[in-house]
């Protein structure tokens, strides 16, 4: 059992929670909670830490016996947790590495392309929504928030394990590559020429969503095949980025389900 705050593993775990650079160097990320442990692919799990109290009452001993675990004193566990009320289980997992081909194998794939999204909760919610809507993958600009930020991980509610994503230094190049593959790209934009319900999303499609405060850059928006807008009433100018992504993705899902019927 780890009982000392000066333990090197405790210091390392605390640093991994806080520092994206260290997570990249070690090629790992952290998840917390029973659900995240249960859903975690066992081949990606590198380390598991549990509190004394958790071990006494947990109902996931079978998986724990396969992955192995280290016990951390109850009083010490909050030092390695990123939550106010830790459940008592934390995992270190290997980071995922996807390529464009991992997202484009299916027929008429659906994509979410994000530029400079900064709020971790928004990013995590978008990944979760992408899974729910049946998207093939999410493409992230290099200046988007770290997908392995603990707040992003929590917001995905497990979708981080299942949704392919690609972080790119060349967002324009990725968009052009998708267009070359026959993907039609739509930019969510205040100056959209038509409402988001009008286009046909039943073919290969991608939605561009920009920064929470500034939207898409003009250079990125110019790469879209079409600019679309979400109608607003009252004095509201725009919706939260994650809400906008959900409307667009689920409109695409609705159209595709109607086609199947």
Tens of pLDDT, residues 5-32: 999 999 999 999 999 999 999 999 999 9
The answer to whether residues 86 and 134 belong to one domain is no
Both tokens of residue 103?
A: 């997202």
Domain residue limits at 233: 100-260
pLDDT at 259: 67
258 vs 178, which has greater pLDDT? 178
Query: What CA–CA distance (Å, rounded) separates 63 from 174?
Result: 39
* Mean pLDDT in residue range 201-214: 96
Instruction: Tell me: do 250 and 164 sit in the same domain.
Output: yes
Mean pLDDT of 150-166: 97
Indicate whether 1 belongs to any domain.
no
Q: Is the domain of 168 the same as that of 83?
A: no
Q: pTM of the predicted model, to two decimals? A: 0.93
φ, ψ of residue 100 in degrees (nearest 5): -55, -35
Q: Identify whether residues 117 and 214 lie together within a single domain.
A: yes
DSSP string for 127-156: HHHHHHHT-SEEEEETTSPPTTSHHHHHHH
Residue 2 is assigned to a structural domain of this protein: no
What are the backbone angles phi and psi of residue 186, rounded to the nearest 5°? Answer: -120, 130
Q: Are residues 75 and 112 in the same domain?
A: no
Domain count for the chain: 2
The answer to whether residue 77 scores a pLDDT higher than 80 is yes
Q: Is 151 found in the same domain as 121? A: yes
Closest listed residue to residue 10, CA positions, set 77, 95, 64, 89: 77
Calpha distance 131→162 (Å, rounded): 8
Tell me what pLDDT residue 261 has. Answer: 61
User: pLDDT, tens digit, for every residue of 29-62?
Assistant: 999 999 999 999 999 999 999 999 999 999 999 9
* 215-251 tens-digit pLDDT: 999 999 999 999 999 988 888 887 899 999 999 999 9
Q: Are residues 120 and 244 in the same domain?
A: yes
CATH at residue 115: 3.40.1280.10
Q: Choose the final residue of a domain: 71, 94, 117.
A: 94
Q: Is residue 175 part of a domain?
A: yes
Q: Domain check: are 119 and 248 in the same one?
A: yes
């Amino acid at each position: 059992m780890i009982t000392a705050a000066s333990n090197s593993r405790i210091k390392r775990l605390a640093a991994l929670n806080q520092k994206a650079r260290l997570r990249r160097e070690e090629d790992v990320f952290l998840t917390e909670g029973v659900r995240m442990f249960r859903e975690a692919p066992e081949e990606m799990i590198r380390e598991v830490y549990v509190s004394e109290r958790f071990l006494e009452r947990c109902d996931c001993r079978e998986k724990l016996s396969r992955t192995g675990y280290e016990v951390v004193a109850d009083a010490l566990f909050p030092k390695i947790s990123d939550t106010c009320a830790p459940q008592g289980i934390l995992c270190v997992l290997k980071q995922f590495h996807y390529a464009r081909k991992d997202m484009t194998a299916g027929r008429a794939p659906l994509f979410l392309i994000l530029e400079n999204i900064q709020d971790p909760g928004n990013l995590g919610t978008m990944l979760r929504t992408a899974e729910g809507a049946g998207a093939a993958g999410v493409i992230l600009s290099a200046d988007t928030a770290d997908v392995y930020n603990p707040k992003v991980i929590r917001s995905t509610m497990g979708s981080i394990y299942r949704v392919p994503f690609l972080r790119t230094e060349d967002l324009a190049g990725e968009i052009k590559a998708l267009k070359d593959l026959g993907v039609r790209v739509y930019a969510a934009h205040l100056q959209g020429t038509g409402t988001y319900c009008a286009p046909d999303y039943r073919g290969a499609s991608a939605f561009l969503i920009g920064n929470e405060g500034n939207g898409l850059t003009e250079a990125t928006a110019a790469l879209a095949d079409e600019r679309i807008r979400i109608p607003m009433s009252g004095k509201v100018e725009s919706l939260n980025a994650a809400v906008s992504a959900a409307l667009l993705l689920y409109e695409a899902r609705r159209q595709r389900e109607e086609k199947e019927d």
